[in-house]
Amino acid sequence: MQTPYQVYQRLFKQYGPQHWWPADTAFEVMVGAILTQNTSWTNVEKAIVNLKKEKALNCNKIVAMQEKQLASLLKPVGYFNVKARRLKNFCHWYQNTRQPEKNDTEKLRKQLLAINGVGPETADDMLLYAFHRPVFVIDAYTHRLFTRLGLIEGEPDYEELRQWFEKKLQRVDDKVKVFNEYHGLIVQHAKQHCTARKPLCETCCLKRVCVFHCHSLG
Cα–Cα distance list, 202 to 9, 71, 189, 196 (Å): 19, 44, 13, 15
Domain boundaries, the chain: 4-18+137-216, 26-130
pLDDT in tens, 193-204: 999 999 999 999
CATH of domain 4-18+137-216: 1.10.1670.10
In this model, does residue 217 exceed pLDDT 60? no
In this model, does residue 1 exceed pLDDT 80? no
pLDDT band at 150 (very low <50, low <70, confident <90, very high): very high
Cα–Cα distance list, 187 to 12, 15, 50, 96, 129 (Å): 12, 11, 25, 33, 15
CATH superfamily, with its number, for domain 26-130 = Hypothetical protein; domain 2 (1.10.340.30)
pLDDT in tens, 33-47: 999 999 999 999 999
Backbone angles phi, psi at 2, to 5 degrees: -75, 150
Round to whole Å and give the CA distance between 151 and 155. Answer: 12
Backbone angles phi, psi at 190, to 5 degrees: -65, -35
pLDDT in tens, 44-79: 999 999 999 999 999 999 999 999 999 999 999 999
Q: Could you tell me the pTM of the whole model?
A: 0.94
Q: Which of 41-55, 128-142, 201-215 has the lowest mean pLDDT?
A: 201-215
